[in-house]
Amino acid sequence: MAIQVSTACEMKTGKQRKGLQKSAFRSALLICLGLVAWWHIYRRLSAFADWFAFSVLHCSPSTRLGSAVQFMVYESPKVLMLLVLVVFGVGIVRSFFTPQRTRAMLAGTRESVGNVLAALLGVVTPFCSCSAVPLFIGFVTTGVPLGVTFSFLIAAPMINEVALVLLFGLFGWKVAAIYAGTGLMIAMIAGWIIGRLKMEHYVEPWVYEAQMSDGMDEDAKLTWAERIHLGREAVRDIVGKVWPYVLVGIAVGAGIHGYVPQNFMAHIMGKGAWWSVPLAVLIGIPMYSNAAGIIPIVQALLQKGAALGTVLAFMMSVIGLSFPETIILRKVLRPQLIAAFIGVVAVGILIVGYLFNLLM
């Protein structure tokens, strides 16, 4: 059966639109109130955790248990609150970047500029690995160069709001900025190299013959109330999925604090061991996890003396290069191109790992 594409935004009747405008006012008001409340709660979290751990539970700040409890009671709501705020904000921002718009922006740019733009757009365009194939086809059949498409496909999973919030909340803004900056560089440069390798003929031939219609672009006509609704939906979906990982990550951080020797990992994953970075990448590639799932491990490794570069390389290869995604991409790419993709990105991650072990 042929599938038509509706062009008009026919989801909403006039009556519904009026109702949505009214509720836009209400939601804007609620958001302002929410932000004020958020800020007042957030800045009191530390004091609350002290009071709860030391006065209510009568733990002593100087004991292992006391500091572990304080850590847990402070970090859990802190990270979850940051997550809710950022996921909500990103959900609204993303409602402006549909795949159609992103594609239109990329189809008209030169290759080098395109790689930079594609990596940046990869961060804000909503994307999940199950959409990798239709998205890939949609991009390359409308004139987005292969290398530029790869810049997008590399950046989109690797740099996402959940990873950044968790890195910021648990390790500070410097680690988060380093991760985002180097991740973007890898996506830009790896995509550019793949473009230079001229591997277009390693794309399965049927891809270029595929006829993709323009598709509907209902998102472009969204009202504010609907964008806010999408933000709330993102919070429900994403925070609802990742919160157990976050709590486990924080519990690991709190729990191992006093019980595992401080430099347990130092001789295996410390700066001195040159082979630790390639090993971390090799272990990371077949592993598949979302950003939230990997955080407990990152937390444990860093606290026990593993070097930052090694840990970042591990995290990037786990969430940026995933085995399931390459299997999905095999539908549209020949093995040679998949190998080039994994190879180029893995080398990029290795360089980042070594660079930070040298610098920090």
Partner 1 sequence: MTTLQILGSGCANCVRLAHNTEAAAKELGMEFTIEKVTDIQAIVRAGVMKTPALVVDGRVKLYGRVPNVDELKTILA
- For partner 1, the binding residues (CB under 8 A) are 1-6, 11, 16, 99-100, 103, 126-128, 130-131, 133-135, 137-138, 206, 210-216, 218, 230, 233, 237, 328, 331
Determine phi and psi for 185, rounding to 5 degrees: -60, -45
For residue 21, the minimal CB distance to partner 1 (Å) is: 16
Cβ nearer to partner 1, comparing 95 with 182: 95
Planar angle of CA 225, 228, 231, nearest 5 degrees? 155
For residue 127, the minimal CB distance to partner 1 (Å) is: 7
Q: How many CB atoms lie within 10 A of CB 242?
A: 22
Cβ nearer to partner 1, comparing 210 with 339: 210
For residue 101, the minimal CB distance to partner 1 (Å) is: 11
User: In whole angstroms, what is the distance from residue 62 CA to residue 69 CA?
Assistant: 12
Cβ nearer to partner 1, comparing 75 with 219: 219
Cβ nearer to partner 1, comparing 89 with 215: 215
User: In whole angstroms, what is the distance from residue 295 CA to residue 314 CA?
Assistant: 11
Query: Would you state the structure tokens that stand for residue 171, as one six-digit string?
Result: 């390790």
User: In whole angstroms, what is the distance from residue 147 CA to residue 188 CA?
Assistant: 9
Cβ nearer to partner 1, comparing 198 with 331: 331
> Does residue 110 sit in helix, strand or coil?
coil
Residue with tokens 């095999």: 330
Cβ nearer to partner 1, comparing 176 with 319: 319
For residue 2, the minimal CB distance to partner 1 (Å) is: 7
Whether 190 contacts 226, CB under 8 Å: no
Whether 222 contacts 51, CB under 8 Å: no
For residue 211, the minimal CB distance to partner 1 (Å) is: 6
For residue 23, the minimal CB distance to partner 1 (Å) is: 13
